[in-house]
Amino acid sequence: MTTRSDRGLRRKIFSHSMVVLSGLAIVAVMLPLFWIIYECVVLGGSHLTLNYFTQGTPPPCSPISCEAGGGLTMIQGSFIVVALATLYAVPIGIAAAIFAVEYGGGGALGALSRALSMAADVLSGVPSIVIGVFVYVLILYYDHGIVFSVTSGSLALGAIMLPIVMRTTEEALRTVPHSVREAALALGMTRWKISLRIVLISALPGVLTGILLAIARAVGEAAPLLLLDNTTLPRFLGFNYPAQSLSLGIYLWADSPYKNLQNLAWETALVLLIFVLVLSLTSRLALNRLSRKWKA
């Protein structure tokens, strides 16, 4: 028969071992992250100078010269393709989110908005390479000349960004209390004006966070660009031509036989990592600051 003290002891042992297991789990999750950061810092940071931001991609090392070069070309290319993608994803994503939240409810409209939400969820789960292939075929059908270009790359990235923007905007819109909408309705404002100028503005911090997170994701995507925007062109030639990008650059140069390009790859990895981290942190801080200002 177990005595009271036996049961108490068993409970103590159980609780302590749970704490230990949780600690181990935390370590298991954090370890790879820190390892990656460590590797990037070590391998990428050793030769990193400000030249990275001023020099373009160098030619491979030759017996004559071995430039270190920099990531400027890639930065330019990434910027353009992601900017384009944002231009597609943000208006559509926000509009879709507004439709899903504000016009949900009864009848056909409600069913449609629920279907829209579900579609976005499904889209966010589609592998990025599949999105890439889909865009590939689409563009091929439309104008095979621009299949490999910034344009098609941005379409694919846009499709990846869209559900992120839509989902976070939807969440943000839902946190706006119903009393705000009622107040605006009672003033005789039209529905769409309420959605745009009152509700969306109230939800702005959340929406902006979503956009920043989507950008962070898009900058890091390599798979669709592998298919649609793969190039070593030394500079931006136009929207109908491909351009170098940060994410793809890492893939291209990482196993290069040329030392300078290898270094470039690691430096790019570090820069990209830092960029994404900074973006995530900034968006979260800005969100907190704005929310507090408006709740006070």
For other proteins, the binding residues (CB under 8 A) are 105-106, 177, 179-180, 182-190, 193, 197-198, 201-202, 204, 293-296
**Residue with smaller CB distance to other proteins, 32 or 188:** 188
User: Measured between alpha carbons, how far is 100 from 210 in angstroms, rounded to an integer?
Assistant: 16
CB of 291 to other proteins, least distance (A): 10
Quick check: helix, strand or coil at residue 57? coil
Type of residue numbered 132 = G
**Residue with smaller CB distance to other proteins, 81 or 98:** 98
**Residue with smaller CB distance to other proteins, 107 or 257:** 107
Count Cβ atoms below 10 Å from residue 200 Cβ, excluding itself: 19
CB of 197 to other proteins, least distance (A): 6
Determine which helix (DSSP H) or strand (DSSP E) holds 200, and give its type and residue range: none
CB of 202 to other proteins, least distance (A): 5
**Residue with smaller CB distance to other proteins, 155 or 198:** 198
Burial (CB count <10 Å: 0-12, 13-18, 19+), residue 115: exposed
CB of 187 to other proteins, least distance (A): 4
User: Measured between alpha carbons, how far is 120 from 97 in angstroms, rounded to an integer?
Assistant: 10
User: Measured between alpha carbons, how far is 230 from 116 in angstroms, rounded to an integer?
Assistant: 32
CB of 177 to other proteins, least distance (A): 8
CB of 285 to other proteins, least distance (A): 19
Rounded to 10 degrees, what is the CA torsion of 252, 269, 211, 51?
Answer: -100
**Residue with smaller CB distance to other proteins, 98 or 228:** 98
**Residue with smaller CB distance to other proteins, 8 or 177:** 177
Type of residue numbered 146 = I
Matching residue, tokens 């062109």? 233
Between the alpha carbon of residue 285 and those of residues 13, 161, 230, 288, 293, the distances in Å are 40, 21, 35, 5, 12
